[in-house]
Amino acid sequence: MTTIETSRLILRPCLAEDRELFYELSSDPAVLEFFPFSRSREDADTIFAMIRNLICEPGFDFLVLVLKHSGEAIGFSGLSRVQLTPYLPRDAVEIGWRISARHWGNGYATEAGMALMRHAFTILNLEEILSVAVHDNRRALAVMHKIGMHPNPAWDFDHPQIRETHPHLKRHVVHRLSAAEWRAQQTEQAGS
């Protein structure tokens, strides 16, 4: 099981006690602005149980973001293999995050994203990480930029699982970062 620490966060495996946070993030209209639906309590609990029972490939855990200073769980983040062929390469690895709205604006998604990138490229030895978001989700796109990712317009696509009843959510944009680019960024930052 993966545990990662940053200056302000602990990213740890999901526990039973995180069920309430999962429901909060699955039903809060602000958090779900770019999702086509919210989840009922029953649906959220069912999905949460499936996530907790899922046997993941090492390093691909569904991690909870916990504030070091208070022990409060504030969101989820992680790496996952994306199954969106032919839109994205087979077994592409995506980084993602979802944080409680009351904790937005503090840089926690960026901090967790940077830590996961380091983990992906130094521990898991992955070659590339993707991130996918609805085309006008400015908060997600800002985090992608801050963690060093860049747009890849050739891979942008209309998400096949979004119904025509939500046309404003169909178009998804893809950002990428290769291990070589990440290492070059680290060298440049160290020299600054």
User: Is-contact 68 112, C-beta < 8 A?
Assistant: no
- Residues ≥6 apart with Cβ < 8 Å to 18: 48, 64, 73
Quickly tell me which residue has 């993602």 as its tokens. 96
Cis link prior to 167 (omega < 30° from 0)? no
Radius of gyration of the chain (CA): 16
Hey, what are 67's tokens?
């504030």
- Alpha-carbon distance 83 to 104, whole Å? 29
What pLDDT is attached to residue 175?
98
Q: Domain map of the chain by residue range?
A: 4-191
Largest CA distance in the chain: 51
User: Is-contact 41 22, C-beta < 8 A?
Assistant: no
Instruction: Identify the CATH class of 4-191.
Output: alpha beta
Q: Where are the alpha helices (DSSP H) in 67-137?
A: 108-118
What pLDDT is attached to residue 55?
64
pTM (predicted TM-score): 0.92
Hey, what are 174's tokens?
């893809």
pLDDT along the chain (192 residues), means of 10: 93 94 94 89 88 76 94 96 91 95 97 97 96 97 98 96 92 98 92 76
